[in-house]
Amino acid sequence: MVNDIATYADKEAGILNVVIDIPAGSNNKYEYDHEMGCFVLDRVVHHSMFYPFNYGFLPQTLSKDGDPCDVCLYTTNPLFTGCVVKARPIGILYTSDDAGEDPKIIAVPVSKVDPRFDEIQTIDDLGAHKKKELEILFKEIKKLEVKKYDKIVIGGFGDLDAVKEELETSIARYNEEGHH
């Protein structure tokens, strides 16, 4: 089902199809189980933190950690698990954990979906506070998962060119692994 959704809603315009795993405000860690063909509750975050954005992934991509590319999608309201949203990438946060490199693409909805984000074109447009929130969240959310926490590294932010490079590499990796 999810594997039939294209990575890009409009490749020329750079518009992505983001599939939501975790609604904003939740600390339930849902993941798409490709074998079962549905979303499952992987765990409840072991910390009191929650996701201040909708957390999802890009179909038909494969990051170095073996999962689809992660996306942090800022929206006006929480979305639901399984919702597909047309979104514009604005940057990337480099992280790594016990499974390896695990970058997070940062995105906002396209204007037709929610024009409130039209002024946010780059990662710097989010502002210093939201960027720091992202770094702290991904460092601290696994703090009570001791074996995972010790291996988390936050590597800073990248621009739209870095996003394009990550997407090209992740799509190629997905196709090379025989997922097409």
pTM recorded for the entire structure:
0.95
- Per-residue pLDDT, averaged over 145-164, amounts to 87
pLDDT at 152: 86
Contacts of 21 by beta carbon, 8 Å cutoff, 6+ apart: 29, 30, 31, 32, 39, 55, 56, 57, 81
pLDDT at 149: 64
The candidate with the shortest Cα–Cα distance to 47, out of 150, 115, 170, 143, is 143
Q: Show the tokens assigned to 109.
A: 């909805």
CATH fold of 2-175, please?
Answer: Inorganic Pyrophosphatase (3.90.80)
- pLDDT tens digits for 51-97? 999 999 999 999 998 899 999 999 999 999 999 999 999 999 999 98
Burial class (CB in 10 A: 0-12, 13-18, 19+), 180: exposed
pLDDT at 151: 79
- pLDDT tens digits for 124-145? 999 999 999 999 999 888 777 7
- Per-residue pLDDT, averaged over 106-123, amounts to 98
Contact indicator for 16, 8 with CB cutoff of 8 Å: yes
Q: Show the tokens assigned to 29.
A: 């860690």
pLDDT at 144: 79
Q: Can you say how many angstroms the Cα of residue 120 is from the centroid of all Cα atoms in its chain?
A: 17
Q: 126-130: long-range contacts at Cβ-Cβ below 8 A with a sequence spacing of 24 or more?
A: 126/74, 126/90, 126/91
Residue 160, H or E segment: helix 160-176
The DSSP annotation for 111-128 comes to TTT-GGGTT--SGGGG-H
